[in-house]
């Protein structure tokens, strides 16, 4: 049985004049006006609203992929490290925290993760990965001064608040820095470049927009109002992104509540930048500037990482 091709219709002679006067045109115009008014008044990026990329399933897949690559990579790194003369005599725990070995290995693992993510999600979404994830470097080019200032203010605010909050006396991240001057410099460079990129991709590239998309879906279905999206949806998305982001760094600060709280506040700022600028590159730039300020303060305090013992004073 041959189905009727609905596209094969006889041409209809519709001029601009009689089309504007027809009832169908008035209905179409009304529908277009309604569609233009349908999105909420929130200044949320259109790609998050229309394409629904990424979904929560995409976020779970990315985190599963990251966990697998980083776990296998760390096991391989430790196994290889125990064979190298420079690290052969270190204990397993010392080897696993030696930045001279772990930082280059982690940089390689991050590169592998980026490669796989670009291939997998680019194929799933059928469009370039960095375009779909809203990297949008043009937003940084337009506002880079203000973004840099924000990163510096976050770094200075963190340092100022740490003077009045109960901070751990010996944080693991400081102990890792104190292994060697070379290791400290590696952590400085990696913490200002590689770490912000992957962390932003995971939390502000996948988790945050996928949560926003969940609430956007509820809004489109009429289950929450545009005002509910503003007062509940966006704050909930930011909170559900910032809590795991802060907890991810908890081991680095001895699980102390004060530095975890400060990291959570920084995460909220990064989420707002990501949503406002519609740019993952923008939040990554602020994150990198913030980390740079923290490590630069440690570098100054330790005389260019030559006197690492001063970091715990």
Q: Where are the domains of the chain?
A: 43-312
How many other C-beta atoms are found inside a 10 Å radius of the C-beta of residue 151?
24
Token readout for 118 is 């670009």
How much is the pLDDT for 271? 98
pTM for the model stands at 0.81
Category of 53 on φ-ψ map: left (φ > 0), alpha (ψ -120 to 50) or beta: beta
In this structure, are residues 183 and 298 in contact, taking their beta carbons and an 8 Å threshold? no
Residue 153 phi, psi dihedral angles, 5° rounding: -65, -40
Number of Cβ within a 10 Å radius of residue 217: 14
Tell me the chain's radius of gyration from C-alpha atoms: 25
302 near 308, Cβ under 8 Å? Answer: yes
Dist CA 27 CA 20 (whole Å): 10
Burial 158-167 (b: 16+ CB within 10 A, else e): beeeeeeeee
What pLDDT does residue 313 have?
A: 61
Tell me what pLDDT residue 51 has: 61
The three-point CA angle 77-79-80 to 5° equals 65
Do 261 and 246 meet the contact criterion of CB atoms below 8 Å apart? yes
Neighbours of 203 (CB within 10 A): 23
pLDDT in tens, the chain (313 residues): 444 444 444 444 434 444 344 444 444 444 334 433 334 333 444 444 446 899 999 999 999 999 999 999 999 999 999 899 888 888 888 888 888 899 999 999 999 999 999 999 999 999 999 999 999 999 999 999 999 999 999 999 998 998 899 888 777 776 666 678 888 899 999 999 999 999 999 999 999 999 999 999 999 999 999 999 999 999 999 999 999 999 999 988 888 999 999 999 999 999 999 999 999 999 999 999 999 999 998 888 888 888 777 676 6
Q: What's residue 94's pLDDT?
A: 81
String of DSSP letters for the chain:
-PPP-TT--------HHHHHHSHHHHHHHHHHHHHHH-S-SS---HHHHHT--S-HHHHHHHHHHHHHHHHHHHHHHHHHHTTSTTTTTS-HHHHHT-HHHHHHHHHHHHHHHHHHHHHHHHHHHTS-HHHHTT--THHHHHHHHHHHHHHHHHHHHHHHHHTTS---SS-HHHHHHTT-HHHHHHHHHHHHTHHHHHHHIIIIIIIHHHHHHHHHHHHHTTSS-HHHIIIIIHHHHHHHHHHHHHHHTGGGGTT-HHHHHHHHHHHHHHHHHHHHHT-HHHHHHHHHHHHHHHHHHHHHHTTTTT-GGGGG-
pLDDT at residue number 188: 92
pLDDT of residue 306: 80
Given a contact cutoff of 8 angstroms between Cβ atoms, the answer to whether 152 and 288 are in contact is no
């Amino acid at each position: 049985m041959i189905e009727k091709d609905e596209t094969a219709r006889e041409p209809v002679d519709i001029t601009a004049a009689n089309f504007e006067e027809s009832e169908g045109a008035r209905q179409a115009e009304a529908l277009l006006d309604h569609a233009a008014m349908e999105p909420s008044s929130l200044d949320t990026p259109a790609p998050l609203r229309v394409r629904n990329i990424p979904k929560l399933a995409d976020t779970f897949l990315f985190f599963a992929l990251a966990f697998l690559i980083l776990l296998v990579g760390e096991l391989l790194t430790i196994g290889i490290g125990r064979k190298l003369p420079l690290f052969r005599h270190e204990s397993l725990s010392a080897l696993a925290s030696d930045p001279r070995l772990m930082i280059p290995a982690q940089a390689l693992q991050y590169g592998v993760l980026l490669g796989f993510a670009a291939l997998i999600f680019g194929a799933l979404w059928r469009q370039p990965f960095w375009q779909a994830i809203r990297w949008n470097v043009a937003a940084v080019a337009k506002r880079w001064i203000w973004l840099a200032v924000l990163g510096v203010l976050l770094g200075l605010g963190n340092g100022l608040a740490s003077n009045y909050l109960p901070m751990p006396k010996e944080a693991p991240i400081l102990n890792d820095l104190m292994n060697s001057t070379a290791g400290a410099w590696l952590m400085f460079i990696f913490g200002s470049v590689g770490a912000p990129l992957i962390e932003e991709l995971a939390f502000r590239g996948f988790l945050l927009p996928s949560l926003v998309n969940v609430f956007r879906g509820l809004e489109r279905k009429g289950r929450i109002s545009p005002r509910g999206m503003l007062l509940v949806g966006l704050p909930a998305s930011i909170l559900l992104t910032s809590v795991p982001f802060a907890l991810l760094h908890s081991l680095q600060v001895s699980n102390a509540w004060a530095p975890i709280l400060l990291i959570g506040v920084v995460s909220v700022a990064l989420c707002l930048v990501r949503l406002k600028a519609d740019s993952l590159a923008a939040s990554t730039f602020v994150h990198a500037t913030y980390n740079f300020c923290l490590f630069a303060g440690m570098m100054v305090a330790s005389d260019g990482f030559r006197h690492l013992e001063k970091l715990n004073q």
